[in-house]
Chain A
Amino acid sequence: MAFRDAEFFRRWLTAAAGSFDAEADRLTELDSAIGDADHGSNMRRGMLAVAAALEKEPPGTPGAVLLLSGRTLVSTVGGASGPLYGTLLRRAGKALGDAERVDDAAVAEALTAGVDAVSQLAGAVAGDKTMLDALRPAVEALPDYAAAREAAARGAEATVALRARKGRASYLGERSVGHMDPGAASSTLLFHALARAAADE
């Protein structure tokens, strides 16, 4: 099993920032169908701030990379996405502790702890048409990063048929059916970048 250092996590989140930057308009388009048309621009702002923070003072451990990234998201994104994505990374970072290198089993465990925390904070589970529809199957497929990427994508795709029970799309009731959840769509970007970072090693 491979070991991952701080540089791996830095490459992961910097690549993810590039994806959020490139996909911002698509996320906003999805959000305008069943939300309030701001998900793309908010996440782009937050993830670019994460990339800048990681470049300015690169933390020395995987845990510290995730903590700094989570804190930066909470301080820059706003909306529900800021606290939720921020909590995902902060909780995962806490789980990794001070270790300088962590194996893939530890990464899987940490990200699962992060997703558990998101679920608790949002009061949502997979099936509610939220980011958890992508996050939950993704962490269940870890430590196989390619499988996690595929599971996230399938989970996001499956939100099209769901009726929203949490978040702003829930106000629409039945009219939320037929649209992909923008949070699930953005969660797939994280796992795409993670799989890419793993494949590059």
Chain B
Amino acid sequence: MKMLINGAERVVDDALRGMAAAHPELVVDAENRVVVRRDAPVAGKVGLVSGGGSGHEPLHGGFVGPGMLDAACPGEVFTSPVPDQMVRAAAAVHSGAGVLFVVKNYTGDVLNFDMAAELAEEDGIEVAKVLVRDDVAVTDSLFTAGRRGTGGTLFVEKLAGAAAEEGAPLARVTDVARRVADASRSFGVALGAPTTPAKGSPTFDLPLGELELGIGIHGEPGRERRAMMTAGEIAEASVGAILDDLTPTGPVLLLVNGMGATPLLELYGFGGEVIRVLRERRVEVARTLVGNYVTSLDMAGCSVTLCQVDEELLRLWDAPVVTPGLRWGR
């Protein structure tokens, strides 16, 4: 597989150096692997910190800036960052108002953020944590690691980030993040497997003419393989899986997300089908975002995320945000 890289070992470091050069409004510490908004710590403001394996860009580093994250910790490709990074990030954004960790529900991320929270509290920083587990493809039971955190992470980071920017205290920012996490559901589909730089070949074998339903964002195979479907059929399967799990009683935010190798031309066509299905199912879409936001390297495919919102959450969605990946209202 051909890649636009200098070498598999330096993919993450090179990307961070590029980010530092392109975004002077961020402090990108490539050596310690922490991305921080330049004006941090903002006096009196709760610090919002997230992080996770690399390969999902713009998540999380691309969501650092006013109105969203204060800092992000990129790990190796598809690998949780280490506690040292998170402690460093927490210290950099802590103004005295406390820090919220937004954690995607994977065993590694949970363990490393837990260790980091303990260490940061030993340093006198009040830390709260919110787990994102929105992927309905995973059966949530005692016999699995629980639902994965995927597209819903964007909603949690945006809405909790807006609340923090308004000056809400830690308890309220945490409450917003929890409500958004609880109200978000996602379903993903792969048309092709991603290739990690370390492996150099696709992480699973997906023949022409087949697709994989219920895929995660780490090249881990999904739950079910089927003969290739049309965009309309994929929209029906995705929305159906989500609505089987959560029936919205009010308006929703909709994220039609590309996995990295699916052109926007296809993604908008798919998004139109998703909105059609939602209309047929009498779900009111308040806002729609279409694009590559929570990606999986060069995986072809898409995911759908719905987040039920009330007036307050809708206002927080519309609030200004200034990050490399999301930017509006200012």
A and B held together in a complex: yes
Interface range on chain A: under 10, 10 to 19, 20 to 34, or 35 or more? 20 to 34
B95 CB–A CB distance under 8 Å:
no
- Interchain CB contact (< 8 A) of A170 among B83, B112, B143: B143
Interface range on chain B: under 10, 10 to 19, 20 to 34, or 35 or more? 35 or more
With CB as the reference atom, state the residue of chain B lying closest to A33: B204
Chain B stretch 178-200: residues in CB contact (< 8 A) with chain A: 196, 198-199
Q: A171–B108 contact, CB under 8 A? A: no
The main secondary structure of chain A at its interface with chain B is helix
B218 CB–A CB distance under 8 Å:
yes
Given contact pairs A78-B108, A83-B111, A84-B111, A38 touches B78 in the complex (Cβ within 8 A)? yes
A28 to chain B: which residues have CB within 8 Å?
198-199
B139 CB–A CB distance under 8 Å:
yes
Q: How near does chain A come to B195, taking the closest CB pair, in angstroms?
A: 9
A168 to chain B: which residues have CB within 8 Å?
106-107, 145, 218, 220
A166 CB–B CB distance under 8 Å:
yes
Identify which of B76, B107, B115 gathers the most chain A CB atoms within 10 Å of its CB: B107
In the bound complex, how far is the Cα of B137 from the Cα of A32, in angstroms? 19
Chain B stretch 144-185: residues in CB contact (< 8 A) with chain A: 144-145, 148
Chain A stretch 14-42: residues in CB contact (< 8 A) with chain B: 28, 32-38, 40-42
Q: B115–A172 contact, CB under 8 A? A: no
A-contact bits for B80-108, CB 8 A (1 contact / 0 none):
11111000000000000000000000111
Please report B residues at the A interface, Cβ cutoff 8 Å: 53, 75-84, 106-108, 111-112, 115, 137-139, 143-145, 148, 196, 198-199, 203-204, 216, 218-221, 223
Please report A residues at the B interface, Cβ cutoff 8 Å: 28, 32-38, 40-42, 45, 74-84, 121-122, 165-168, 170-173, 175
Closest 5 CB pairs of A and B: A79-B108, A80-B108, A83-B111, A36-B218, A80-B107
**Interchain residue pairs with CB less than 8 A apart (14):** A28-B198, A36-B78, A36-B218, A37-B198, A38-B79, A77-B82, A78-B80, A78-B81, A78-B82, A79-B80, A80-B106, A168-B220, A171-B148, A173-B139
